[in-house]
Structures are given as structure tokens and as C-alpha cells.
Structure 1
Amino acid sequence: MFRLIRNVVLSVLAVIWLVPVYLLIVNALTPVSEYHGEPRWIPGGFAIVENIVAAWNQSSLGLGMFNSLLYATCSALIAVLAAGLAGFAVVVMPVRRPTVWFWLIYLGTLLPLQIFLAPLFKAFVGAKMYDTSIGMILIYAAICVPFAFFIVRNYLTTIPPEIAEAAKLDGAGWGRLFAQIHLPLIRSSLFAAFIFQFTWVWNDLLFGITLTTSPDRRPVMAALAEINGGFVNVGPPVVLAAALLASLPTVVLFLSCQRFFVSSLRASA
């Protein structure tokens, strides 16, 4: 009985999640001339290529996707490496008060991001990093560290401490212990953290419109917001086609790394 109820609930949740995706795809396929202001439930044509081309030509969507790819890849890699080192220090190394260090780092995920905007804006302008690629990578990396640390640290707690003790008896230092023993063991958690942080950076709009102004620095979501702001001129199907294109990289990344993602979450739980 419990299994039946669980399957019904999961099926209902899946349908609720899939309906907006279905509407997005159907209306992105619809030619602009066939769209009359109401969402379509049945495709009115197959104009996805024309709609994507229109969005690409009338905005900086392509440049925004390149910028987001740069920001998401670099910042997620930096955050994952920092999280791995921090998790190793808190769990494996004999630091004092590891619980305090855990909450001190993890606290970054509990604060609303809006409180950082004003001081960040002033700091970026003062440091001449406003509207620069390096500035965006650094702020994204800093924000991504706490949650990545949470994932990696939880995974590290599942590794038997006897492994580290045996390696230290063989003369391994902390650097070798991390690079040659623990780093390969936590690979799946690093992949999972990378997927989470890559997706978050790719989908971010708040910092994209706050810390950048020029089209050659703005991420894809800021470019998509620009298209959405002018949808009267291009038509809703063009906006939806652009949104569909912008979502593809994260979907491809998740599907390609799904095995590492699932195994890491199971071990961390």
C-alpha cells in the first residue's frame, strides 16, 4: 500500500514538473505568425530553428552563452577544489573544533544573496573589477564554495579513518594523503558538487545584471532577460526558443555525469 501511494505521488509530481516543460517546447516550436497570445497545447508548426535564429540575431545570446560557460566552468572548478581542500582539512586533518569550522564555512549558504549586492558593488567598483570576467569568476567561485564544501565534507565522513592512518604509517604527508588517496576516493562527490555549482552559476541572473553592464561580459540569463524585456518586438515563441537553447548545456552536463551524481548523493546521505 505504501509503495502504491509513493508511486502515485511521484507520478503526480512528475506530471506537474513536465507540464511547463511541455508547454515550453510546444510554444517554442510555434511560428511567431501562428501565436495569438494564448499558450498552445498542440504545436502550430515547426519553427524552432527560425525562432532560435531570430533570438540569436536580435540579442547577445551567443556571447552570453560563451560568458556563462566561462564563468560556470572556471568558478565551479575553483570552488570544488577549495571545497575538497577544506573538507579534507576539517574531516581528516587534526584541526581544533572541526564543527565550528564546518558551520563557519557552511554559513555562506544560509544567508540571502541580496545582502551581498551593495557591498559587492562598491568593492568591485573600488577594485576596478566591475564588469570584468575575472570579477565574475571570483564572486561566483566564492559563493559556490559553501555548498560544494557541504557535499564533499559529508562524503569524506564516509571514508574509514583507518585509510589515512595506514598511509601516515607508511610515511605519507598531508599533501600526498590528499592528492593520491583521498582525491581519487571523493571523485564522485567532486563531480556532484561541480554539477550543482555549474548549474547554479549558469542559471544566475542576480549577479549577472548587478555586476556587469556590457554585452561582452553579461552571462546568458542576463541576455535572456534582455530578450524577454523586448518580447513584444520578437514574439513569445522567440523568447521561449531562446530559453530552451539556454537550458541545453545544463541538461547535457547532468545526463553525461548522472552516474557520478547519483552515487555521490547516495554516499553523502
Structure 2
Amino acid sequence: MEGLRKSNSKLLSVVLSILAFLWVFPFLFVLINFAKSGTVYNLGDFWDIPKEFSIGENIEYINDRISIYISFFNSLFYGVAGSVLSIIIAALAAYGVTKLNIKGKFYWFLLIYSGTVFPFQMYLVPIYRAYVKTGLYDTQFGMILFYAAISIPFCTFVLRNFFQATSNSLSEAAKIDGASDFQIFYKIYLPMSKAPIAALFLFQFSFIWNDLLFGLTFSKSVGVRPIMPNLSALAGTGGAIGNVPAMLLACLVASIPTVFIYSVLNKHLEKGFVMTSK
């Protein structure tokens, strides 16, 4: 029996090592090739370590074709504003349907959560037409409004689970001391939900940052478009064929915010999972 366990453990280690290699392989490819020039990349081997770095040349190549800096800050703005706005509204809604005396709490929650029942692609045409009629199309406010609205149902679901697991004795004691419902929410429940809020911010920011479909549909100008649609435009202008290292560099730059936010919020992530799954 012990020999069988050891063999199973070795087999599992081999399988996990193979999977880890397959996961890391594309990243290694990017690190080795993003600093090469287009000519060196096309004439050399994929795994040749570059002797000369052409990062400046690649950045110039990118800037000649897309406004990566503007779109970078657009996505950063949308990710932060959309995530924060959706979490604030969802926290208020979750607190209302769990701790306040409201008739039909569960049905109000179902109404909010029904936004996740249908595929997001179903919203494209009606929202596009509404945006064109109301003047929200191709505006930063329209992009933030959409990203916040589409994130609210999931955030409400997570925070509702968290608030339901907390004891009502805290709010009852605060009410005896004369605290209002909003004060109880703001001073007691909101600080307690720091871990699930951190996890939600990471998820929603990553979703908004990596979005391609809605960014292409609801924006067209340089000053409004997020970064992912611009990266797809870089590939469409011959970037993926004419200068692969420049495309790799652009993708590497685009991955920086999500990696940074994950590294900052990582300590809250596992705790947030545990607390919201109870």
C-alpha cells in the first residue's frame, strides 16, 4: 500500500510538473523575445537570448500604430472606477436584503442577480442602441456605467453570502446605542467585509481590464477605447506578422496592472474565498 502511494505521488508530481511547464512556457517565450528587433526575431531562433535590446524601437513601433499610453490609462480608469462603483452599490444592496426590514428580500435579490442569468453578449445590441440614442456611446462615462452595472449582480451575490453569515447581534447592539442603519453599515459591516471586497475588486478589475468585446462595441475614439481593443488593432495592422516582439512587449505592458493588483491583494484573496463560501 505504501509503495502504491509513493508511485501515485511520483506520478502526480510528474503530471503537475508538465502542467506547470505548459503554463509557464508562453511567459518564457515572451520574456526571451519581447526585447528583440523584428529582424532578429524573424531571422533567428525563438530561444536565442538577444545580444542587443530593441525595446525603444519596439515602443516606437507600437506608438506609431496605436495610442497604447492613452488606452492604458483608460482601462486603468475604467477598472478602478467601475469596480469601486459596483462594489459600493452591491454592498448597499446586499446589506439591504440581509439586515434591513424589507418585504420580499429574497425576490429583490433575485431581481438583482437575474442580470447574470443571460449571456452578456445578449446585452450588446440593446445597450448599443440605447447608448447611441442617449449620447453615452463612445464616452468614458458610458463605459464606466456599463462596467459597473454588469458587475453589480455578482458582487451582490458574494457580499450577500458574507452578510448572511454574520451575526445580527452586532447591529442590534448598535441600534440600542442609537446608531442608524447607514452608520451600522458604514462603521461595522463594511470594515468587516474587507477580505471579500478585496477579492471582488481583483475579480472585477481583471474582468474590466481584459475585456475586448464591450470595449470594441461601445467605443471607437482614441480617448475612450480601452487597451485590449487597441492591442487587437495592433495585430490587425500587421503587428503580429511584421514585428512580433513589439506585440509581445505591448502584451507584457498590458499585464502589469493585473499582476500588481494581485500581488497587493493576494493576502486577502484566500480569506475572502473562505468567508464568502460559508
The two structures share one fold, judged by TM-score above 0.5: yes
**Among candidates 245, 259, 262, match of residue 267 of structure 2:** 259
Structure 1 SS opposite 2:66: coil
User: Which whole-Å deviations, capped at 9, do the CAs of 1:66-96 have from their partners, x for residues lacking one?
Assistant: 1111111111110010111111112222333
Q: Which residue of 2 aligns with 1:244?
A: 252
Q: Which residue of 2 aligns with 1:121?
A: 128
The 3 A distance-change label for structure 1 pair 49 and 268 is: farther
- For the pair shown, which has the larger CA radius of gyration, 1 or 2? 2
The 3 A distance-change label for structure 1 pair 126 and 158 is: same
Structure 2 SS opposite 1:87: helix
CA distance in 1 between counterparts of 2:96 and 2:199 reads 20
The question of 1:149 aligning with 2:152 is answered: no
**Percentage of pairs with the same residue:** 35
Alignment check: 8 A CA contact 2:30 2:248 kept: yes
Q: Deviation at 1:114?
A: 1.1
Q: Which residue of 1 aligns with 2:204?
A: 197
Alignment check: 8 A CA contact 1:155 1:264 kept: no
The 3 A distance-change label for structure 1 pair 252 and 232 is: closer
CA distance in 2 between counterparts of 1:188 and 1:93 reads 22
Q: Deviation at 1:49?
A: 4.3
User: Which whole-Å deviations, capped at 9, do the CAs of 1:199-230 have from their partners, x for residues lacking one?
Assistant: 11111111111111111111111111111111
Q: Which residue of 2 aligns with 1:100?
A: 107
**Which residue identity does 2:26 align to in structure 1?**
P
**Among candidates 23, 31, 35, match of residue 29 of structure 1:** 35
The question of 1:87 aligning with 2:94 is answered: yes
Q: Which residue of 1 aligns with 2:172?
A: 165
Please identify, of 103-112 and 179-188, the stretch whose mean Cα deviation from structure 2 is larger: 103-112
**Among candidates 127, 140, 145, match of residue 147 of structure 2:** 140
Q: Deviation at 1:261?
A: 2.1
**Which residue identity does 2:210 align to in structure 1?**
N
The 3 A distance-change label for structure 1 pair 156 and 11 is: farther
Please identify, of 7-16 and 53-62, the stretch whose mean Cα deviation from structure 2 is larger: 7-16
Alignment check: 8 A CA contact 1:64 1:220 kept: yes
Please identify, of 177-186 and 56-65, the stretch whose mean Cα deviation from structure 2 is larger: 56-65
User: Which whole-Å deviations, capped at 9, do the CAs of 1:115-166 have from their partners, x for residues lacking one?
Assistant: 1111111100100111111111101110111122222222223322221222
The 3 A distance-change label for structure 1 pair 38 and 188 is: farther
**Which residue identity does 2:90 align to in structure 1?**
A
Alignment check: 8 A CA contact 1:29 1:44 kept: yes
TM-score (norm 2): 0.88
Please identify, of 148-157 and 219-228, the stretch whose mean Cα deviation from structure 2 is larger: 148-157
- What's the Cα RMSD here? 2.4
**Among candidates 224, 231, 241, match of residue 224 of structure 1:** 231
CA distance in 2 between counterparts of 1:228 and 1:34 reads 19
Alignment check: 8 A CA contact 1:27 1:39 kept: no
Alignment check: 8 A CA contact 1:87 1:156 kept: yes
